[in-house]
Structure formats: structure tokens, C-alpha cells
Structure 1
């Protein structure tokens, strides 16, 4: 896969990749024990001009959930409490699995989330995911010498997003418009190391484009959120920098379908994509960190029915 054929619906490249991996992918044992069919090294391209947004149309994507997650990343928060208060469940499985294993209590998800919301101490102990995504994006650890070969961790870390926007505004031709969540020193503290790990931005002709390198992609479930979120982030940063959105270039490393997603895959590749949804940003906040969910509106989105499938933890 190396991008979109001119005149083709933007989603067709995704469906073709899904079909190719399901038919010809390498069968591999993975971290979850479920098994995958996979390929390595994929590129897809999505034009973001004229408010275009790469929402999948062959199944319903709950885009507000993805947008709420992105806003949560930008706060630097790493506890699921603020997400579950908004009925966003996509990060619950990891702390829930840990709680069940360590406590022996076979609590269901709803009861676990309710305790996270109601009990401060329980949330602090069991709701934190470690220094995932947003923590690295806006508070990358910074150390200063403390004498005698020792170093002190500063209270405030490096805000990569703030530096990125400043760089795009003041030095648009730079080749260093990059942020990443892949902090090697802290990977073992994370509930899940970052899958969408590195973003690079590019300014030309008054437009802002970006490459997302995703080391691992669950093509059946995760991709729909990943591609929408990346496009949303480009749109937000472009607005903050008084640029037009350009293109999202999506690079996948290990791109896979789980073997227990057969029903999802077969159903989806039998469908035809259609439509051209738009994303409107209804106001320009003072900062990238001041957007709210009500600032986003998706128009002309008429997807086919949702297809459910289990998450591999």
C-alpha cells in the first residue's frame, strides 16, 4: 500500500489493505495470545482540504469518543477517571485487567468504573495508566544537575506540543517539527506503550501536513480512532497557527488484524464506502489546550451500521 489512487474514495485504500492482510498476511503469535495476521510497512494518505475528515463510512465510528480522548491527551492526565466521567471506556480494560489479577475480584467494567468515579483513593491506586501519551506530549521529564553526580527531576517537564506550535509559527521551514510519546526510560511504567508514537509536521503553501508513524496498528478496531484523532490534531494545530490543513500521511509499522475479528473483517470488506464527511471547528480558542468537545461538529456523516468486536488486552 502506498497511498490513494486519484479519484478513489479515501476509505478504499483502508479496505484494500484489510482485504490483503486477511487473505495474505503473516500469521503471528502476539502479546495478547490471540494471534494476528499482519504486514509490515504501510502508507496511506488522506487529504484534509475543505474540512475533509477521514471517518470510516463502512461502519459507524464514535468520533466524539476519539475527540474526547485527544483532548484528554492534551491535558497530560494519565488517570481514566476523567474519561469514564465522560462515558469514554476505551482505556478501562487495562487497569481493570490489572485490578482483577491483583485483587482476585471479578468485578465487571461498569462497577469498576463507578468506583473509579466515586472513590478518590481507589481511582488514584487503580485508575492510573502510568506516563502514557499525553504525559510525554506535554510533560516530558526534565532533569537538572543537583551536584555530586546526582540529578533532580524538575516539577515542570518539557511541553512538546507547546514547543511544536511555537516552532511552526516562528520557523515554519524547520525539519524538526516533531513530537513523540516513545520515552524509552518510562516504557515499562506504561499500561500500554504508545502505538501512535511519533508525529512530524510540514508547512508549505500556507498548509500544514503531518506524518503519523504508528508502530503497531489494530486495523480492525484501533485504526478508525487513530486516523480521525490524527486528522483532528492537524486541524487544531493548523487553526492555532493560522494555516490551512493539508494532508495526513499515515505510516504503519506492524499493521495487523486479530484472528478473533473474522466477523468484523468479513462484514466490513463486503461493504462499499460512500460519502464525504466534514469536520467543522466552531471557534478558535486562545490555546491548543483550550478546546472543548463542543467546539467540534461533524457534518454529512452517514455511515453504515456499527460492527462490534472484542478488544485484545
Structure 2
């Protein structure tokens, strides 16, 4: 049994209109709906006009041990410098990205993708069908430098092979049908990286991964920030994007500020342009000071789990009594001070 509020929410806030620079681009980027380059419409809504140039200063809460991989904190970063085979919109529909189109065999075991032409990784190497096949095969290999801990559990039992059957045609074969395949390819953790760069080894790639996205990893200052610079040649935005060219801003300063009070304070002090996760105690203040985007997700809900290995909650009758007697709405409202929906459930 656990006490939960559903759905969960992620909260972001930024400067007021008077102070806004390129905030909305960051917000759209961080919500995972697209990359920064496509975010012009959101930016127009907050700031009144498209802003060009400058560096977005973003405050995040957790620093990963590597700049790519299967952990969600790596996904946020990977989305800035890599592209995916396909994209997924807010309604869950799969749309083109690096793959312009695709067909699925009648038995649902062979997917054939037509790859967008004239795309290059930021190290100058070609992003073609072979490069994508190398990535997919690497995710499911036993090579610790290439294996993807997110892709492997999803695809391991159904995957057979990925190969280039023409320079811009990719074939993915499955042992058995796997309906969520395209959704897996759309996840941030499945960003396509340069095979040439991957040959440098995990240690180098953790510090300086190479993709084809709208930004290039410039420098990782451990314990402080990752800096990104604009990819001036970017030409591979997804179909979900509202802007198809290079990003409007010159770069991103991705700061690691684990303490939420310090993180929110940096926004008030003008040291950041946007932050991840407003502290619940500051929710009312943030709504007064800044434009706030609250994005409800389908993630597993926040929950309070009861420890059932020892008394009193090892007794199912006690757990049931607790469930019936708990004011779940009040618990959520008290804990999150109105920042999250309070449709609480006990399971």
C-alpha cells in the first residue's frame, strides 16, 4: 500500500517578462517536448518576440557521472546534443526525426527506415544508416563502452539485428513483434551518437559525447556546470519542432545546484534564467514573481510507501485501517502546498 498523488508534475520557473531573455526556449527544451531550437512559439508567448544570441543559464538539481547513458539525469543533457531516430508528440503519436519515413512488415518483425540525407555529426562524420545501425547494435551488445542500460531491458528479448541495406536505408529485424519499438527509439536515452567518437572509449565519451543535435558539448566543469555551444550547421530537427534550423541562442550554461533553496535563490538573484523544480514552500512566491510552466507527466506518481517488514504495518488489518483513516488530500496539500494535484490514492 502506498499513499500517492497522481499524476506527478515537474515544475520550472524563469524570469518575468521584463527580465526574460531566452527562458521559454529552455523550458520547452527541459520538458522534453523538443529541443531548444524548435521553441520559438513558446518564447513569443512569454517574451513577446524571438530572442537571438546570448547564453541560457539553467539551474538543474543533480549531476550525473557521465554525460550520456540510461539514467534520466543523463537524458536531459543528451537531448541537447543528440537526435533520435523518431520523435513522439504530446499525444503519443510517432513522427519523423532522423528517419523521414518507415514501413513495417505484415508480420510486424521488420522495420525499414528511410534516413534523412545530408546530416552530419558535429565531428564531421556522416550520420547515415550505418551509423544508426552501429548505435542500435552497440546498445544491445556486451561492450560496456556501448551497451545502453535502458535499451537493453526493452529490446533485448525481441531484437535480432540492425543493418544498413542502403546508405540511407536502415533495417531493424525482430525475433518477435514488439509494439513499443518506435516509442523506445523516441526516448532521450536512445539519442544517436557518432560511431567514430564512440571508438575513443567510455572515459572520453562521458566527458565529451558527440551527436548531431542543436548544441555541442563544450566543457564539463565537474561539480559546477556543463557548457554547450550552438551547432551552427544543425539541420535535423524533428517533425515536432516549430523551428527547423540552428538554435536561436549561442549556448547553454547548465549549472548543477542540488540544494533547492540555493537553486531558487539563484533565480531570484538573477544568476539563472530558469530552474528545475520549484521548492513547494516557494510555490506561491514563484507564481507571483515569474511565469511558471507546470508540466504534468504520466510518470509513476509520487508515493509514500509503508514499511511492511515489521510492526505495525506488517499487519494487513493495520494497513487497511490506516488507508481508511488517512486524509490523503490533506497530506498532499500539506506536503506540496498546492504545487501538485491532490487527487490522492492509496494502493
Q: When the two structures are superposed, what TM-score results if normalisation uses the length of structure 2?
A: 0.28
Please tell me whether Structure 1 or Structure 2 has the larger radius of gyration of its CA atoms: 2
Which has the higher relative contact order, 1 or 2, with Cα contacts under 8 A spaced 6 or more apart?
2
Larger helix share, 1 or 2 = 1
